[in-house]
Protein backbone atom coordinates (compact mmCIF):
# COMPACT_ATOMS: atom_id res chain seq x y z
CA UNK A 1 0.00 0.00 0.00
CA UNK A 2 1.17 3.52 -0.86
CA UNK A 3 -0.14 6.33 1.30
CA UNK A 4 0.25 10.11 1.04
CA UNK A 5 -0.48 12.16 4.15
CA UNK A 6 -0.72 15.95 3.87
CA UNK A 7 1.57 15.92 0.83
CA UNK A 8 2.50 19.39 -0.36
CA UNK A 9 4.76 19.98 -3.36
CA UNK A 10 6.22 23.36 -4.25
CA UNK A 11 8.20 24.50 -7.26
CA UNK A 12 9.86 27.71 -6.22
CA UNK A 13 7.18 29.96 -4.75
CA UNK A 14 4.39 28.08 -6.55
CA UNK A 15 2.47 25.38 -4.65
CA UNK A 16 1.56 22.74 -7.25
CA UNK A 17 -0.02 20.19 -4.90
CA UNK A 18 -1.39 21.09 -1.49
CA UNK A 19 -2.33 18.77 1.41
CA UNK A 20 -3.00 15.61 -0.63
CA UNK A 21 -4.27 12.67 1.42
CA UNK A 22 -4.76 9.41 -0.46
CA UNK A 23 -4.23 5.67 -0.03
CA UNK A 24 -3.46 3.38 -2.98
CA UNK A 25 -4.19 -0.24 -2.15
CA UNK A 26 -2.37 -3.22 -3.64
CA UNK A 27 -4.13 -5.01 -6.50
CA UNK A 28 -6.23 -2.02 -7.56
CA UNK A 29 -5.78 0.26 -10.57
CA UNK A 30 -5.93 4.03 -10.10
CA UNK A 31 -6.03 7.01 -12.46
CA UNK A 32 -4.93 10.55 -11.68
CA UNK A 33 -7.02 13.04 -13.64
CA UNK A 34 -7.04 16.80 -13.86
CA UNK A 35 -6.42 19.75 -16.15
CA UNK A 36 -2.94 20.69 -17.33
CA UNK A 37 -0.87 22.38 -14.68
CA UNK A 38 -2.66 20.98 -11.63
CA UNK A 39 0.29 19.01 -10.21
CA UNK A 40 -0.33 15.45 -11.45
CA UNK A 41 3.20 14.90 -12.78
CA UNK A 42 4.74 16.76 -9.86
CA UNK A 43 2.91 14.47 -7.43
CA UNK A 44 4.23 11.37 -9.22
CA UNK A 45 7.78 12.78 -9.39
CA UNK A 46 7.58 13.46 -5.65
CA UNK A 47 6.50 9.88 -4.91
CA UNK A 48 9.53 8.63 -6.89
CA UNK A 49 11.88 10.95 -4.96
CA UNK A 50 12.58 13.43 -7.75
CA UNK A 51 11.08 16.48 -6.03
CA UNK A 52 11.23 17.70 -2.42
CA UNK A 53 8.00 17.72 -0.44
CA UNK A 54 6.30 18.35 2.86
CA UNK A 55 4.15 15.65 4.42
CA UNK A 56 4.54 11.89 4.69
CA UNK A 57 4.84 9.24 1.98
CA UNK A 58 4.71 5.62 3.13
CA UNK A 59 5.06 2.46 1.09
CA UNK A 60 4.25 -0.89 2.68
CA UNK A 61 4.34 0.77 6.09
CA UNK A 62 7.79 2.34 5.66
CA UNK A 63 8.27 6.06 5.30
CA UNK A 64 10.04 7.07 2.07
What confidence tens digit (pLDDT) does each residue in 42-59 have? Answer: 999 999 999 999 999 999
Q: Would the pLDDT of 39 be above 90? A: no
pLDDT score at 19: 94
As a whole number of angstroms, the distance between CA 55 and CA 1 comes to: 17
Q: Would the pLDDT of 38 be above 90? A: no
Domain boundaries, the chain: 2-63
pLDDT score at 48: 94
Backbone phi, psi, residue 51, to 5°: -130, 145
DSSP the chain: -EEEEEEEEEETTEEEEEEEEEEE-TT--------TTSSHHHHHHHHTTSS--EEEEEETTEE-
**Class in CATH terms, 2-63:** alpha beta
What confidence tens digit (pLDDT) does each residue in 3-32 have? Answer: 999 999 998 899 988 999 999 999 999 999
Amino acid sequence: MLELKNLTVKRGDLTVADHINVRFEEGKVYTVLGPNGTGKSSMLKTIFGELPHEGIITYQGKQL
